Structure 1
């Protein structure tokens, strides 16, 4: 009897690096919208400017929580790091 072999798609370790590891204050980012209970599901994402990066308890250099200002409404939100999907290039 033969063994089962997983023929999954190989991806380089570099492509698996989470986006949020490179986020820093002042950056503009795209955030996956995380709906609150009872909130109308009218958008998938929003764009904001990072105000503050919070560190994890075990390693303060690993950011796991961001304070981000929504560029459309000005509302400041606390965002879990894994909801950041893209970092927009700077306009320097």
Structure 2
């Protein structure tokens, strides 16, 4: 799954971008309801950096047919 993430600068990082696109590697459920994902492990498609991201920072989920995956879009 490919997502657009609102950029939340880490300590020591320059604030040179507003958003970034990443590939979701893992979804982690919350303590109250494990079926609702609250954290995502996402790899930045530009830099390859892997980060844990709070679900509140994910602004868009790209449809299956637009993220380069194989097969027909359903």
How would you bin the TM-score normalised by the shorter chain? Answer: 0.7 to 0.9
RMSD of Structure 2 on Structure 1 (CA) = 0.9
Structure number having the greater strand percentage: 2
Matching of residue 37 in structure 1 with residue 22 in structure 2: no
CA distance in 2, matches of 1:90, 1:57: 28
From the CA coordinates, give the structure whose radius of gyration is larger: 1
Structure 1: gaps (5+ residues): 1-26
Structure 2: gaps (5+ residues): 66-71
Q: 2:33 aligns with which of 59, 70, 77?
A: 59
Structure 1-normalised TM-score? Answer: 0.68
Structure 2-normalised TM-score? Answer: 0.83
Which residue number corresponds to residue 2 of structure 2? 28
**How many residues of Structure 1 are paired with residues of Structure 2 in the alignment?**
66
